[in-house]
Structure 1
Amino acid sequence: MTASSTVGHSPLFAGTGLHTRLTHAGVTLREVTQASELQPDSLEVLLLDASLLRADDLSAWQACGASLVAFDAPAGVLPLPSAASEDELIALLGFAAEQFRLKQKTDQLAAALQNKDGDLQKLVDVGLALSAEKDLERLLSKILTEGRRLSNSDAASLFLVDKKGDQPQLLFKLTQNSSMPTRFQEQRMPLTKASIAGYVALTSTELNIVDAYAIPSDAPYRFNRSFDMQVGYRTMSLLAIPMLNHRHEVVGVLEFINCQNVQGAVIAFDEVMAASLRALASQAAVAIENRQLLDDISQLFDGFVQASVFAIEQRDPTSAGHSFRVADLCIALARQLPMAPQAHLRNQALGDESLRELRYAALLHDFGKVGVREHVLTKAKKLPEPVIDNLRYRVALAKESLQNQTLRRMLQAYRQYGALDEQLRLQWETELAIECERLDQYLRDILKANEPSVLTEGDFHHLQEIQGHVVKNHDDSLIGLLSESEFCALAIRRGSLTQEERAEIERHVVHTRDFLKLIPWTPALQGIPEIAAAHHEKLDGSGYPKGLAGEQIPCGSRIMTICDIYDALTASDRPYKPAVPVEHALDILQSEVKSGLLDGDLVKVFIDSRCYLNPTQTPALAAPATPQSSAPVYAHHVCDYEPCDKHPH
């Protein structure tokens, strides 16, 4: 039994030989009469006797936490043999005291383990929270907040290492201070060992500083006191930890300032706390790198989309900017859905990922026109210029043939009659002039019909008349002024394309879908191919390529169809047709609704919200500048061929 032991006993124990021996051994003896007199763990050993057991139940004595011993020991109490010598009794009491100390140590270890488990659970919770955060700014703020909570720190700062430029830099990204909240603006500084954060970043070394103002003079780093001086703060304890990624590269530095105890006094960061913050720094590094990697991938993908759209626009420079305008209009309309008066539209409101999916689909909706042959896209007239030249030659040859025929008739009259009647000569010359003028008029009519304009029924019959006009060929054979293929081309009622060529242009949506399906989209973007491919579908099933109807058409596609038609009508960059005034374009959209082609509720939201006047701009995907040509090449934009073309512009 040690001199520091404390033994409790009843008044009856006082004056016994054992009491005297314990007193001489320096053991602290305390007389008790009731359990309520004792504080928990105030005694190491309590010597029970009948008087104490009569005063309180055994459970009340057990609550005091001491090791219980008794001569006449009930269950759960260490027995003291009555025949034992005093030395043996003192040894047994010492054993009881040691048992108490072991129990106390066990309880302390259990509490420490429980605290450790609690810290571990906190770190798990922090890790889950960090991995779920998608916004980098909120992620960084959460890292500092959780770190301060784990360490009970008054302040914290976060630095990121930026190696993208010519010279690596340290970006002072964020700071938090509980006692002195201040407005903060991020700063850039050279990455050197002169600062604490720079030293930690360059050496991957953790610094645990007891007093930031008492850093040894031979240390390569110094504490920057400017913040303290400006706001009247006093930095004492400081723990700077490098954030290492999986390649053991430093991506940033965490600084925790002024650790506080329960009473609020500033204390140094101990090893247990440092270990927890070290684990947090590791989690933070992974979360930051993952977020930066996702941002880099997103920027890379945005660049790919921008390059793809640029390639599309280069195929058709006359409509450069169409895809970007349609994308902006789509996002502007989609953002009106949560405020739509119709409940079913509000239920289809798009989240951030769906808006991104719609934007990419709109930007790439015409990519398939790279599969349309060049001569179809650039077919400005119904007949190519070489065919028109051949027709000019055919008319000139026919006129020459008529002149030769008239001259032969005159020569024959001279030979037969020796003279030519003046009246007959004038008649023949008049007939020749009339026929030549008719051929010239036919040529003018052919050139007019060759323009990609709308043919009336009368124009169609007039072409039949021209086709039926017989002329001599170069080999004196008789042919029609127009061949069957030339007549068919000129008889195209709208535009300049044949049915086969129009079908080829319509297949651009199939090319778009097939191309976009080759891209391994993430789950959030996997609807892009079908959304983009359905932008020429119509509500009544008359669209292409699948003839989808009603709800079979994705909501994003129905939005895109409206925006696509609107831009095709109002675009001022088409050299082959004037832009339609906005109000007229809106009337056309409403007419398409009445025809059962467009979603009337979406068109109403589009018009009522006036979102077409200030469509959403996305700086990350601004339309690239397209070189302007002094003589733009005629091209058929694939979105010009819509049912709305039946409306006069």
Structure 2
Amino acid sequence: MTASFTVGHSPLFAESELHARLCHAGVQLRCLAQAAEVQPGALEVLLLDGSLLDACPLPEWQACGASLVAFDAPSGVLPLPGTASDTELLALLDFAAEQFRLRRKTEQLATALQDKDGDLQKLVDVGLALSAEKDLERLLSKILTEGRRLSNSDAASLFLVDNKGEQPQLLFKLTQNSSLPTRFQEQRMPLTKASIAGYVALTSTELNIADAYAIPPDAPYRFNRSFDMQVGYRTMSLLAIPMLNHRRDVVGVLEFINCQDDSGQLIAFDEVMASSLRALASQAAVAIENRQLLDDISQLFDGFVQASVFAIEQRDPTSAGHSFRVADLCIALARQLPMAPMSHLRQQALNDEALRELRYAALLHDFGKVGVREHVLTKAKKLADPVVENLRYRVALAKENLQNQVLRRMLNAYRQHGALDEQLRLQWEAELAVECQRLDQYLQDILKANEPSVLSEGDFNHLQEIQGHVVRSHDEGLIGLISESEFAALAIRRGSLTQEERAEIERHVVHTRDFLRLIPWTPALQRIPEIAAAHHEKLDGSGYPKGLVGEQIPYPSRIMTICDIFDALTAADRPYKPAVPVEHALDILQSEVKTGLLDGDLVKVFIDSRCYLNPAQTPALAPPPTLPSGAPAYAHHVCDFEPSEKHQH
């Protein structure tokens, strides 16, 4: 029987007959005196005797890793029977050697499994990191960094496939190089099989190249050496992996360059390394697609909001730009909160998502005016033009009736007396002139009262006098010169809207809220309907639509209320009213604070920070707009600020 294993033994055993028989059987024997002479794992079987145990305790011999055997075996040591034949002895030693080999294999497998678990944990950690990253640029950089760390690569590059144009392109998006940092500017190139990245992208094929300079001439792709030549670099091993999404479409390509061993020597990428990077590429593809989908959703929302604002402004061209200016003012004021001197305002500081939510709410805060009837929005005066024309006709008819009455009286006098007393004729004509003049004056008073302005109590009495003046209608009936509904409209103290029409204007916030609730906002934007619908609420509960009080009003809505009033006062794009000077507008805001309507601390930050002077915000300096053909010259913007009498100085 021939043996192929090594047995360690003591110097004393070297003098025994058994030693000679083992040598004759081909067993490799090694004499040693101390456990320190044995490198761990270098010896398969160790034949223990008393001299070795006297030299070192059993645990030290066990630490050598060899299988231990002995004739007088202590606990934990494989016993050798003293009467065993040579064949039996060799078989037992071979069994001990096999135990050693199995133990080593088990240890190697355990180490490999542990390494695999470590790589798997690294991939899990990478996946978590990639899924948490929201910025696309940082996400791509993290993909390269983690891939280089997993593979111990010197450099890496990332390419994205762009299918949005007429011809697909390859976007060289990012590169990293540990040994040779260089400035990089992303580049676009045609998507063809001529380049390594292009070939991988078009064929979904992984390329593992041991030497980039030794690519076979018949390969459809070539390595571009221009970078190496420009910076003095030498690309050796290269692994290019397609990044596939869930539909198995290539979204990009990862290239890892110059893999290194523990000593820093360049080596080819092995299959274990490629497997880990393949998993990374799959994670990266999902993360990139998710990020791009989120960006697409964001762009979709932006486009929808832009289109909605366009629709709003088409309904009311006289106030074009109001929604954008209010949104910009809101963001400018909100960005001041982290620096506010009041701690409770600093606690209300908005993060990026909340700022986006505020901006969308501000842009869409007046969308509900699409639910306000056209004739209410374009009601420039208290009475509609047809009603005024009817009044003019009514006055003219009344004057005509008076003249006819005088003429009939003159005719009757001729018939009865054969002549008309001159004095009586002059008297009747004078009375007619007085009555006609009275009617003309009534008409002028009506036209004056029809203008949207603040009327005194005396003016109302005069309207009552006009209402009480009885005239004949076209059907010979008796009616008041102005009807009850006309009197109610003319007696409006401010503006030109009746109470019912003003209520309809105010319902625009309800329309806004109901409309915005129909949109499936993301969780970060779900408060938009609530914020937009509260921009006419006042701290004292006098606002609408709900009459919210104090803390019931969201802080973003309080910000919007201030900015909305400021723009309504200072806007110069409304041909029906002049812009209020900025300083006067700020005084009005402070007055609104004193009456308990606005948040005083927010108004103070708005004024002290002068955020309203943002160069993008120059509404008071802009010329009045040129209205589209057919557009009304007047419109009641639903957010026009109508100051009380104390502000009209």
Counterpart residue type for residue 340 of structure 1 = A
Name the residue aligned to 1:500.
500
Contact persistence 2:450–2:490 (CA under 8 A): yes
User: What CA distance in whole angstroms lies between the structure 1 residues aligned with 2:103 and 2:48?
Assistant: 19
Q: CA deviation at 1:436?
A: 2.0
User: What CA distance in whole angstroms lies between the structure 1 residues aligned with 2:390 and 2:632?
Assistant: 26
Contact persistence 2:3–2:94 (CA under 8 A): no
Comparing 433-442 and 207-216, the one that deviates more? 433-442
Helix, strand or coil: the match of 1:256? strand
Counterpart residue type for residue 597 of structure 1 = L
Identity %: 86
> Structure 1 pair 642/350, CA: closer, same or farther in 2 (3 Å)?
farther
Name the residue aligned to 1:33.
33
Name the residue aligned to 1:525.
525
Q: Which runs of 5+ in 2 are unaligned?
A: 618-624
User: What CA distance in whole angstroms lies between the structure 1 residues aligned with 2:475 and 2:304?
Assistant: 59
Helix, strand or coil: the match of 1:68? strand
User: What CA distance in whole angstroms lies between the structure 1 residues aligned with 2:174 and 2:283?
Assistant: 18
User: What CA distance in whole angstroms lies between the structure 2 residues aligned with 1:177 and 1:448?
Assistant: 81
Name the residue aligned to 1:55.
55
2:174 is the alignment partner of 1:174: yes
Listed one character per residue, the Cα deviations across residues 348-369 of structure 1 (whole Å, up to 9, x for unaligned) are 1111111111111111111111
Q: CA deviation at 1:473?
A: 2.6
User: What CA distance in whole angstroms lies between the structure 2 residues aligned with 1:493 and 1:42?
Assistant: 107
Q: Which runs of 5+ in 1 are unaligned?
A: 618-624
Listed one character per residue, the Cα deviations across residues 417-459 of structure 1 (whole Å, up to 9, x for unaligned) are 6665655544443433333222212111111111122212222
User: What CA distance in whole angstroms lies between the structure 1 residues aligned with 2:478 and 2:517?
Assistant: 55
Name the residue aligned to 2:143.
143
Contact persistence 1:575–1:632 (CA under 8 A): no
User: What CA distance in whole angstroms lies between the structure 1 residues aligned with 2:249 and 2:474?
Assistant: 84
Q: CA deviation at 1:581?
A: 1.0
User: What CA distance in whole angstroms lies between the structure 1 residues aligned with 2:206 and 2:468?
Assistant: 96
User: What CA distance in whole angstroms lies between the structure 2 residues aligned with 1:542 and 1:382?
Assistant: 25
User: What CA distance in whole angstroms lies between the structure 2 residues aligned with 1:120 and 1:217?
Assistant: 38
Q: CA deviation at 1:469?
A: 2.1
> Structure 1 pair 476/98, CA: closer, same or farther in 2 (3 Å)?
closer
Name the residue aligned to 2:76.
76
Q: CA deviation at 1:636?
A: 0.9
Listed one character per residue, the Cα deviations across residues 510-562 of structure 1 (whole Å, up to 9, x for unaligned) are 11111111222222111111111111110001111111100011111111111
User: What CA distance in whole angstroms lies between the structure 2 residues aligned with 1:626 and 1:147?
Assistant: 58
Name the residue aligned to 2:569.
569
User: What CA distance in whole angstroms lies between the structure 2 residues aligned with 1:371 and 1:103?
Assistant: 82
Listed one character per residue, the Cα deviations across residues 48-69 of structure 1 (whole Å, up to 9, x for unaligned) are 1111112221111111111111
Note the aligned Cα RMSD (angstroms).
Answer: 2.0
Name the residue aligned to 1:376.
376
Name the residue aligned to 2:621.
none
Name the residue aligned to 1:622.
none
- Aligned pairs for 1:161-310 (under 5 A) are 161-310=161-310
Contact persistence 1:592–1:644 (CA under 8 A): no
Q: CA deviation at 1:626?
A: 9.8
Comparing 159-168 and 4-13, the one that deviates more? 4-13
2:18 is the alignment partner of 1:9: no
Listed one character per residue, the Cα deviations across residues 462-508 of structure 1 (whole Å, up to 9, x for unaligned) are 21121122223334443321111111111111111111111111111
2:595 is the alignment partner of 1:601: no
Contact persistence 2:317–2:631 (CA under 8 A): no
Contact persistence 2:565–2:641 (CA under 8 A): no
Name the residue aligned to 1:434.
434
Name the residue aligned to 1:621.
none
> Structure 1 pair 257/387, CA: closer, same or farther in 2 (3 Å)?
same
User: What CA distance in whole angstroms lies between the structure 1 residues aligned with 2:588 and 2:600?
Assistant: 12
Counterpart residue type for residue 341 of structure 2 = P
Q: CA deviation at 1:641?
A: 5.2
Name the residue aligned to 1:107.
107
Counterpart residue type for residue 20 of structure 2 = T
Contact persistence 2:329–2:611 (CA under 8 A): yes
Contact persistence 1:331–1:615 (CA under 8 A): no
Contact persistence 2:358–2:556 (CA under 8 A): yes
Listed one character per residue, the Cα deviations across residues 303-329 of structure 1 (whole Å, up to 9, x for unaligned) are 111112211112212112211111111
User: What CA distance in whole angstroms lies between the structure 2 residues aligned with 1:267 and 1:645?
Assistant: 86
Counterpart residue type for residue 260 of structure 1 = Q
Q: CA deviation at 1:643?
A: 5.7
Helix, strand or coil: the match of 2:15? coil
Name the residue aligned to 2:314.
314
> Structure 1 pair 48/627, CA: closer, same or farther in 2 (3 Å)?
farther
User: What CA distance in whole angstroms lies between the structure 2 residues aligned with 1:330 and 1:616?
Assistant: 13
Helix, strand or coil: the match of 1:73? coil
User: What CA distance in whole angstroms lies between the structure 2 residues aligned with 1:629 and 1:187?
Assistant: 47
Listed one character per residue, the Cα deviations across residues 173-232 of structure 1 (whole Å, up to 9, x for unaligned) are 111111111111111100000000000000010000011111111111000111111111
Counterpart residue type for residue 350 of structure 1 = L
Q: CA deviation at 1:407?
A: 3.5
User: What CA distance in whole angstroms lies between the structure 2 residues aligned with 1:587 and 1:479?
Assistant: 48
Helix, strand or coil: the match of 2:103? helix
Name the residue aligned to 2:459.
459
Q: CA deviation at 1:122?
A: 0.7
TM-score, with normalisation over the residues of structure 2?
0.95
- Aligned pairs for 1:327-406 (under 5 A) are 327-406=327-406
Q: CA deviation at 1:570?
A: 1.1
Q: CA deviation at 1:628?
A: 3.6
2:545 is the alignment partner of 1:551: no
Counterpart residue type for residue 332 of structure 1 = A
Contact persistence 1:329–1:615 (CA under 8 A): no
Name the residue aligned to 1:480.
480
User: What CA distance in whole angstroms lies between the structure 1 residues aligned with 2:373 and 2:415?
Assistant: 61
Comparing 398-407 and 102-111, the one that deviates more? 398-407
Comparing 190-199 and 603-612, the one that deviates more? 603-612
Listed one character per residue, the Cα deviations across residues 240-282 of structure 1 (whole Å, up to 9, x for unaligned) are 0001111111110000000011111111000000000001111
Contact persistence 1:537–1:544 (CA under 8 A): yes
Comparing 301-310 and 157-166, the one that deviates more? 301-310
Q: CA deviation at 1:627?
A: 6.8
User: What CA distance in whole angstroms lies between the structure 2 residues aligned with 1:49 and 1:642?
Assistant: 110
Comparing 201-210 and 405-414, the one that deviates more? 405-414
Helix, strand or coil: the match of 1:158? strand
Q: CA deviation at 1:297?
A: 1.3
Name the residue aligned to 2:131.
131
User: What CA distance in whole angstroms lies between the structure 2 residues aligned with 1:494 and 1:286?
Assistant: 60
User: What CA distance in whole angstroms lies between the structure 1 residues aligned with 2:66 and 2:181?
Assistant: 50
Counterpart residue type for residue 60 of structure 1 = E
Listed one character per residue, the Cα deviations across residues 65-122 of structure 1 (whole Å, up to 9, x for unaligned) are 1111111000111111111123322322222122112211111111111101111111
User: What CA distance in whole angstroms lies between the structure 1 residues aligned with 2:277 and 2:179?
Assistant: 21
Name the residue aligned to 1:620.
none
Name the residue aligned to 2:92.
92
TM-score, with normalisation over the residues of structure 1?
0.95
Contact persistence 2:5–2:97 (CA under 8 A): yes
Helix, strand or coil: the match of 2:12? helix
Contact persistence 1:329–1:616 (CA under 8 A): no
User: What CA distance in whole angstroms lies between the structure 2 residues aligned with 1:545 and 1:647?
Assistant: 24
Counterpart residue type for residue 74 of structure 1 = P
Name the residue aligned to 1:153.
153
User: What CA distance in whole angstroms lies between the structure 1 residues aligned with 2:641 and 2:496?
Assistant: 11
> Structure 1 pair 421/2, CA: closer, same or farther in 2 (3 Å)?
farther
User: What CA distance in whole angstroms lies between the structure 2 residues aligned with 1:615 and 1:231?
Assistant: 45
> Structure 1 pair 626/400, CA: closer, same or farther in 2 (3 Å)?
closer
Counterpart residue type for residue 639 of structure 1 = C
Helix, strand or coil: the match of 2:578? coil
User: What CA distance in whole angstroms lies between the structure 2 residues aligned with 1:362 and 1:346?
Assistant: 21
